[in-house]
Homo-oligomer: A and B are copies of this chain.
Amino acid sequence: MRFLSDNTGTVAPEILDALTEANHGLVTAYGSDPWTQRLDDCLSAYFGTAVRAFAVATGTAANSLSLATLTPSYGLIFAHEEAHIANDEAGAPGFFTGGAQLSLLQSPDGKLTRDVLATALDTQRVSVHTLQPKALALSQATELGTSYRPDELRGLCTLAHEHGLKVQMDGARFANSVAFLDCHPGDVTWRAGVDVMTFGATKNGALAAEAVVIFDRRLAAEFGFRRKRAGHLFSKMRFLSAQLDAYLADDLWLKNARHANAMARRLGEGLARIPGVSLAHPVEANEVFVGLPEAALRGLAGDGFQFHPWQAEDRLLARLVTAFNTREADVDAFIASARRHAGAAKERVA
């Protein structure tokens, strides 16, 4: 009964099976195996354009290696103040780039807007005494469970490019956004102007696998050098690539994301109907941020539900994350428990 995160769960059976299936025969190490060899093709087909794809095992590696490929050590990277790279990766972008920094921007629901970026670009003092603006980092889905629409991304990327910035996208929950938007993966990436993205699988059923997808293929060689040098090139690479292979095969990515999204939507709708309970952000992926009386939060915890408290500017929220294997019964139990505890809290107030 955990809604802590989508990285606390198990591996999707299809992906575990793929590991077993890959476990025969001798192949050349470090990527000269059939699974890795077809990775570019698989992801090119997926995105509808020729890409270079590199498998790594963690989201932090994927984000930092791609940012280091896009920005020099003296670079400034614009990002939302809620971004994972800003809050949960121990300063990894600074380590991988040799000291580049983030400029954090505020806007509602975890989504940067063209206006917010425009203001930042206009007011950012730039001289030889400052870092040099070099990249824009976006997350799809965002850290607050919302999703950029294609035209929102196009606006941001166009503005970024006009100012000489490259655009990176953290797609740790990319499948959830595509499932929510019901769009083509290309619509919210290269067609909108994204230069490099991380295509996450771990949170949506893989054991540990993310693909860095390079739309601007001139950057590919450098990325490869950086990956190796940072210890992120696996010798038995087939076991990374096979995960991604299975993740893309038979639209497993979409099936898993749709389920997780459906559970989040059910959770959000159920909670929103409880008097005194409100959602902090629209539910546009597999996360629900909900405001509950503190007594209700304690009550839910007492009932054995697990979730992260989330400190918003003005109130404490509960962050609830669903996954490819979240059960409807657990969602309904959570809602029932919340309703009971919220009601009790209200009575006490009355």
Contacts and interface: CB of A to CB of B under 8 A. Distances in A.
Interface string A105-139: 00000000000000000000100111110000000
B222 A72 contact: yes
A105 to B, nearest CB: 15
Interface stretch (A36-44, A86-94, A173-181): A86-94
Contacts of A239: 11, 207-208
A232 interface: yes
A23 interface: yes
A20 B29 contact: no
Interface string A255-281: 000000000000000000000000000
Contact of A229 (B5, B29, B91, B125): B91
Q: Interface size class for chain A?
A: 35 or more
Interface in A23-66: 23-30, 56-65
B74 A98 contact: no
A158 interface: no
Contact of A98 (B2, B73, B90, B101): B73
Contacts of A64: 231
Contact of A231 (B24, B92, B128, B130): B92
A57 B243 CA distance: 15
**Chain A interface, >50% SS class:** loop
A19 interface: yes
A322 B139 CA distance: 45
A62 B203 CA distance: 25
A207 B209 CA distance: 13
Q: Count the copies.
A: 4
A171 interface: no
B92 A101 contact: no
Interface string A288-317: 000000000000000000000000000000
A168 interface: no
A256 B293 CA distance: 57
B26 A88 contact: no
A230 interface: yes
A271 B157 CA distance: 48
B8 A225 contact: no
A231 B91 contact: no
A226 B97 CA distance: 14
A89 B29 CA distance: 14
A202 B235 contact: yes
Interface string A208-249: 100000000000001011101111111110011000000000
A99 interface: yes
Given A73-B98, A91-B99, A94-B99, A128 B10 contact: no
A87 to B, nearest CB: 8
A16 interface: yes
A94 B92 CA distance: 12
A130 B63 CA distance: 15
A214 to B, nearest CB: 15
Contacts of A234: 57-58, 208
The list of the 6 closest CB pairs from A to B, nearest first, reads: A61-B231, A94-B99, A7-B235, A60-B231, A98-B98, A90-B229
Interface of A: 2, 4-5, 7-11, 16, 19-20, 23-30, 56-65, 72-74, 76, 87-92, 94-101, 125, 128-132, 202-203, 207-208, 222, 224-226, 228-236, 239-240
